[in-house]
Structure 1
Amino acid sequence: MIWLTFLPAGITLALGVLLGRVGLPLHPVWTARVLCTVAAMTVPAAAGTLGFVAVNFWATLEPAAAGRMPEWALFGDDEPVPVPLGVAAIVLLVAGLCVTLRLASRWVAEVRSAQDLAQSLLESDVPMAVSVPGRRGGVLASRGLYQVLGAAELEVVFHHEASHLRHGHHRYLAAGSLAAGLLPPLRRLNGRMRFSLERWADEDAAEAVADRELVALTIARVALLQPSGEPGPLPAFADSGILRRVEALMARAPGRNPVTGPVSLLGTGLVTGALALTALQIDHAFTHAFL
């Protein structure tokens, strides 16, 4: 019954791929939360499954060690793990650890660098604003931003960045980046989540200044002056999906989904959380269910 071991990771990964291709009819607040939940749960489901296979592969190679292992760490049957499968699981686990360490070190380095810069005005002619998390964080703004924007537009920018900081969007970005780095099929999910976070902050800024058109025009104006490049690990004012963000702001404000939003998030969390928790026990669960 070894194939059942891959069921939790397979389901959560399939859900992540689906949500990366199909938009959710929810307010950006709930969309970002649902996508982050799926990304965050898929990683432990996949890692747990690989770890489970690796442990049982070791038990296959060293039968004497299997007797010292707890029952929950072993498959419900006594079938040996095929060598190609066991080796692949170990290789993927090691590769995943390397990717995680690389992403974590990059994240820490860039956040610390941004925190140092956030203590003063950034000497750059490129108009930019970035929300920097942490005690030494804040809003990192450039001199160029003050040169091209008026007082009302600057208010929009700072309300947008304050939303990122207030809601801890850097945690969402970290979860999405880790999931995309470890599981390439989730890159589109990560992209949709980044876009939802920007839309979330856009809507907060529009509500704060009570002028959706002003927010849209400010986003477009700053975006036109940005150099092209990949989005960084910190939420910036002129991030991805500029045209769609402007179009959304020029339209009617989305509904808050006071019922469907929490229900969608709760349902997603329960399903993906249960799958992640059973990633190490799915074989036993199915064995006991059918015996």
Structure 2
Amino acid sequence: MTWVLLLVTAALTFPWAAAGAARRLADRLPPKEACAAIVSTAVLGAGGTGAALFGLAHVPFLAGLEQLPLAQVATEWPAALPVAALATAVMATQLVLVVRRWCEHRSLLAAAWAEAADAEADGDLLVLPGETPDAFALPGRHRRPGAIVVTTAMLRTLGEREREVLLAHERAHLTGHHHLLSVTTYLAAAVHPALRSLRPALDFHLERWADESAAREVGNRRLAAAAIARAALAASTAGPRRGPLLAVNTGPVPQRVEALLGPVPVRPEAASARAAALGLVLGVVTCAVAAVAIAYGLHEYVELAAEGLRAR
């Protein structure tokens, strides 16, 4: 039992170290690669946590397969049944949280589409009448393609070239399927508390990704920085968007503007390769630790069954 608990403990504490490493790594990568590192860590951390908890919760099931009475299991391994019950309760709680977050995500998306019902359509642009400056990327729903929602007040706030930046920014969210990355990390954070810190980091790098896309689209980084700053300042009166809606005022805007005023983020190929290798190693370690814990548990109970048969 000692080795099983040690292995499972390692799997359950791994996300704390992985989340911190992913945030630091993301700060050294271009925005697109940073988002990949964060989302991969969230998924692998959640998967490893689930596997480790399953390794603890499967004890009664294994005992049944080996036709071992639970009383004998409790005698040979006193902590087995309480630990299995606790792991099962934790997994049930995680499932409830994940389902609740998914329902919240769908509800927010439905509310946003209802809000845009009166908007005037122009291609992928939905112009919404309103005196509050606002703009956000609206993911597709019920076979409806994604759209960019902009209020008339926001359009009046920006100049023609600045509007090009804003639309390019929001369009980058749609074409990059950023809402899927955001929702994936949001759901993974319900599985392990250490993963919650990845959501703000991901939101920042998703905005940086869209900022850089807009700057490339208009071919002027200073114009992009000025437009993002003006649009974010105007949209601050609308408040932050929640859930799958990525808006121009999401994340720490001063840092985003400062980054746009600097050089284009470029990393050597070797850095990207090291980042990919690190992500792969983290994933392999997580899955391996959880798998070893389960395999060792199986081995323990096979031996227990054999000893019981020999004693008869």
TM-score (norm 1): 0.84
In 2, Cα distance between the equivalents of 1:182 and 1:127?
36
Equivalent position of 1:67 in the other structure: 66
Structure 2 residue corresponding to 1:161, chosen from 159, 167, 170 = 170
Equivalent residue for 1:130, pick from 133, 136, 152: 136
Amino acid at match of 1:122: L
Displacement of 1:126:
2.0
* TM alignment of 1:273-284, pairs within 5 A: 273=284, 275-276=286-287, 279-284=290-295
Moved more, 245-254 or 78-87: 78-87
SS at match of 1:131: strand
Which has the bigger relative contact order, CA under 8 A and spacing at least 6?
Answer: 1
1:237 corresponds to: 248
- Which amino acid in 2 is paired with 1:216? A
Q: Is residue 227 of structure 1 aligned with residue 237 of structure 2?
A: yes
Give the drift of 1:68.
6.4
Match of 2:53 in 1: 50
1:162 shift after superposition: 1.1
Aligned counterparts, 1:40-189, within 5 A: 40-56=43-59, 58-59=60-61, 63=63, 65-67=64-66, 79=77, 81-118=79-116, 120=119, 121-134=127-140, 135-136=143-144, 137-189=146-198
Is residue 164–residue 235 contact of structure 1 (8 Å, CA) maintained in 2? Answer: yes
Which range moves more in the overlay, 220-229 or 93-102? 220-229
Work out the percentage of aligned pairs sharing the same amino acid.
26
Q: Which residue of 1 aligns with 2:220?
A: 211
Matched residue, 2:310:
none
Tell me whether 1:24 sits opposite 2:23 in the alignment: no
The code of the aligned residue for 2:100 comes to R
Q: Deviations over 1:62-106 (max 9, x none)?
A: x4x14269xxxxxxxx74544543333122111111111111001
Give the deviation of 1:45 after TM superposition: 1.1
Unaligned runs of 5+ in 2: 69-75, 120-126, 300-312
Paired with 1:179 and 1:151, the residues of 2 have a C-alpha distance of 40
Rounded to whole Å, the distance in 1 between the matches of 2:281 and 2:213 is 28
User: What is the CA–CA distance in structure 2 between the aligned matches of 1:261 and 1:212, rounded to whole Å?
Assistant: 24
CA-based RMSD of the aligned residues comes to 2.7
| Counterpart amino acid of residue 263 in structure 2 | R
Residues 134, 238 of structure 2: 8 Å contact kept: no
SS at match of 2:161: helix
**Higher CA-based Rg:** 2
Q: 2:282, 2:67 → 1: CA distance?
A: 33
**Structure 1 residue 51: Cα displacement:** 1.9
Deviates more, 1:252-261 or 1:126-135: 252-261
C-alpha change, 1:269 and 1:118, in structure 2 (3 Å) is farther
What corresponds to 1:72 in structure 2?
Answer: none
Letter in 2 for 1:107: H
CA spacing shift, 1:224–1:260, aligned 2, 3 Å = same
Q: Which residue of 2 aligns with 1:254?
A: 265
Could you tell me whether the CA contact under 8 Å between 2:8 and 2:289 is conserved in 1?
no
The alignment partner of 2:248 has SS state of: coil
Letter in 2 for 1:255: V
**Which range is displaced more, 7-16 or 103-112?**
7-16
Residues 66 and 13 of structure 1: is their aligned pair in 2 closer, same or farther, counting only changes over 3 Å? Answer: farther
With over 3 angstroms needed to count, the CA separation of the structure-2 counterparts of 1:228 and 1:132, relative to structure 1, is closer
* C-alpha contact (below 8 Å) 1:9/1:276 kept by paired residues: no
What's the TM-score, normalizing by structure 2? 0.79
Distance in 1 between residues matched to 2:171 and 2:284, nearest whole Å: 30
The answer to whether residue 205 in structure 2 is matched with residue 196 in structure 1 is yes
**Structure 1 stretches lacking a partner, 5+ long:** 70-77
Inter-CA distance 38–275: structure 2 relative to 1 (3 Å threshold): same
The 3 A distance-change label for structure 1 pair 13 and 272 is farther
Size of the alignment, in residue pairs?
Answer: 276
The 1:14/1:102 distance shift into structure 2, 3 A limit, reads: same
Instruction: For residue 273 of structure 1, report the CA deviation from its aligned partner.
Output: 4.8
